[in-house]
Amino acid sequence: MTTSPDAPLIRRAEILAIGTELLLGETVDTNGARIAARLAEHGVDVYWSMRVGDNLTRIVEALEVGLARSDLIVTSGGLGPTDDDLTREAIAELVGETPHVDPELEGALRAFFERLGRTMPERNVKQAWTIPSCTPLDNPNGTAPGWFVRFSYKGSPRIIAALPGPPRELHPMLEEQLLPRLALPDAHLWTRTWKTSGIGESHVADLLGDVTLQSNPSVATYAREDGVHVRIAAKAEDAAQAEVLGRPMADRVFELLEAHVWGRDDEDLASLVIASLQRAGARLAVAERASAGRLAMTLAAADPERGALAGSVVGWRVDARDVLASSSDARLDSLTDVADEVKTFFAADAAIAVGELRPVDGEGGGVQVDVAVRDASGVSTETLSLPGRSGPWLRDRVVLLALDLLRRRLRDSR
């Protein structure tokens, strides 16, 4: 598949996610991030992303807004066979063309159902619609072909690419059908993301100073579940030039934040901890209360062979100290005692113990939880203060503290 020589150069694009379920919070739009990332890698600027419900008038309005400022609109969703799947109708109305059934597409649809041993409902025929300005995009993973629509909007060339909503259908269509058809800028993007912990976004910004005012390379901060991420992005005519432009800034950002950086790019904290244990040939034991087993589950997911995780004790309702003390004559008066005992209990090289939540009196209230890490060279403890709330959010924060304390202990023990 080759790009047409008269295809408009795509410098600016936006994404339109279609579906009322997105507005009601019943479905989370993960497609937008995938589309934006792939376009950015090709040097396309994605400045806007919208969501709109299953309403013909509002979909047309959203498309008109996008076409006034972008060369390309990529839609996701609304290509199903039901009456509330209105993406095709909206595009046809905007372009001023009447949909008709494409016999080849209809035949492919009926064959798809035959392979499943089923009769195609007649309402699915609308998925074989097309318009004169449309090139259908093959969808071997589902019943909804995509639309690649090229036309002139107020004297300027524009493209609307309509992709199906299910990610298992959208992702292959994006890679195999859409991107090869686009005339993309002769530019490449290089990125580096530093991941930090133990510091808030405003404090990260203070440490970075005026480097965040740069445009190319750009430096931006993002608050994430596993800490504050700092992303450096550089754009140039080729990949090598982009890296030459971006790497010095990435190095500078690392120097400014080094004390707080735990990883980069796609690295995750649990995998880094497991990798450190494996390199050292060490095994870890876990005892936890406030995290309710989530710490052990997170580590186990990163260590599927259980080569580094020796075992765990979870004392959500039954105190882990009582369980461990019953196996020995030890008296477990402190969290470090618990770490010592669980290390011995599982014959491990290191142990981590998570204490119970305790309320904080005074203005602001909240809760605190202690974490202790024991290895052959000593013990480290840390206290995490959190707002007075409970549930998964709090347990996730406790897990992050425990993992980061363990990471630092393993690093300093080398």
Report the predicted TM-score, pTM, of the whole model to 2 decimal places: 0.69
Summarised one tens digit per residue, pLDDT across range 364-406 is: 678 888 999 998 888 888 888 877 666 777 888 889 888 998 8
Q: Decide if pLDDT at 284 tops 70.
A: yes
N-term to C-term CA, the chain? 53
CA separation, residue 206 to residues 200, 201, 212 (Å): 10, 9, 10
Summarised one tens digit per residue, pLDDT across range 226-260 is: 889 999 999 888 889 999 999 999 999 999 999 99
Q: Decide if pLDDT at 325 tops 60.
A: no
Taking alpha carbons only, the member of 1, 68, 37, 45 closest to residue 185 is: 45
Cβ pair 173, 146 in contact under 8 A: yes
Q: What is the C-alpha to C-alpha distance for residues 328 and 396, in angstroms, rounded to an integer?
A: 32
> In the predicted model, what is the mean pLDDT of residues 150-154?
94
pLDDT for 186: 75
DSSP string, 352-374: EEE---EE--STT--EEEEEEEE
Looking at the chain, the whole-number percentage of residues with pLDDT higher than 70 is 93
Taking alpha carbons only, the member of 260, 256, 193 closest to residue 221 is: 193
* Domains of the chain with bracketed CATH: 12-181 (3.40.980.10), 188-264 (3.30.70.2860), 269-413 (3.90.950.20)
Confidence band, pLDDT 50/70/90 cuts, at residue 3: low
Q: What is the C-alpha to C-alpha distance for residues 369 and 386, in angstroms, rounded to an integer?
A: 8
Summarised one tens digit per residue, pLDDT across range 157-176 is: 999 999 999 999 999 999 99
